[in-house]
Amino acid sequence: MIEKFEKIHSSGDFIELLKRSGNYPQQVLSGISNNKALEIPQGTTVLAFHYRDGIIVAGDRRATAGNSIMYDRCDKVIPIDDYSLMAIAGVPATAFEMARMLSHNFEYYRRSQLRAMSTEGKVRALSKLLKDNVAMALQGVGGVSPLFAIYDTQQEKAFLYFYDMLGAEFQILTHVATGSGSPMIKGILEHENLWGISSLGERSEEEATSLSIRLLQTAAQFDSATGQARPEDKLYPTIAKITKEGYQFIPDDEMATIYKSSMSRS
């Protein structure tokens, strides 16, 4: 038993440690896939794209279950460590658990191996969690389609990845969106990148943040599951950036100013 623990500990794999110790979260909920009365909250819409200094990650705040609005202040952009963010579309309960496990996994590796996990290792760790979650995704009770943004301090470069619900990972070189509102804004992102005032990768932080707000407001116009910003209630999208300084969220007081200027026709 001690030898098994030492072997797992030496690998720095926190998820494998949970599995071997019998503490890994249950992946299959028996009998619930046919329960049509069960309404699982879903979160949408999230987007991310490369800009001049790094990557912008943004999401609306609404969580729905069927035709019901369950919550209007859901945070869908989640910090994992100092240099990585995960944005979620799908079931928040599953996504939040994945985010916690990823965070613990990265920290466990750092402490046990006395060095930070590589970018490739972090990217594949999320893929592994999604693959382990396939059973719940196929039952319709735990599907998650996340975005993952990370700054590699060794390469001095930001990386962006999209994952499907089965765990396949795709590196994104320009822009990506997922969730029920994403079809309404993918074309806009492509148009902005090709024929906008400048390509997305050349835009300033102010320009990138302003575009993110407009995109999410556009998605909300056509998708009832995507929540609109409500300045009167001090409710704005969640927007964060990943740069060489790590992750940083745009605070609400700045969001109020950016939102006002973004919605202007001038």
Q: Indicate which residues carry an active-site annotation.
A: 44
**What's the DSSP call for residue 158?**
E
Q: Which of 153, 197, 190, 155 is nearest to 173 (CA)?
A: 190
Instruction: For 188-253, give the DSSP string.
Output: HHHHHHHHSSS-GGG--HHHHHHHHHHHHHHHHHH-TTSPPPBGGGTB--EEEEEETTEEEEPPHH
Return the amino acid letter for 231: P
CA distance 52 to 201: 5
Tell me whether residue 116 is exposed, middle or buried, using C-beta atoms within 10 angstroms of its C-beta: 0 to 12, 13 to 18, 19 or more. middle
Q: Which of 144, 148, 170, 163 is nearest to 27 (CA)?
A: 144
CA distance 243 to 170: 20
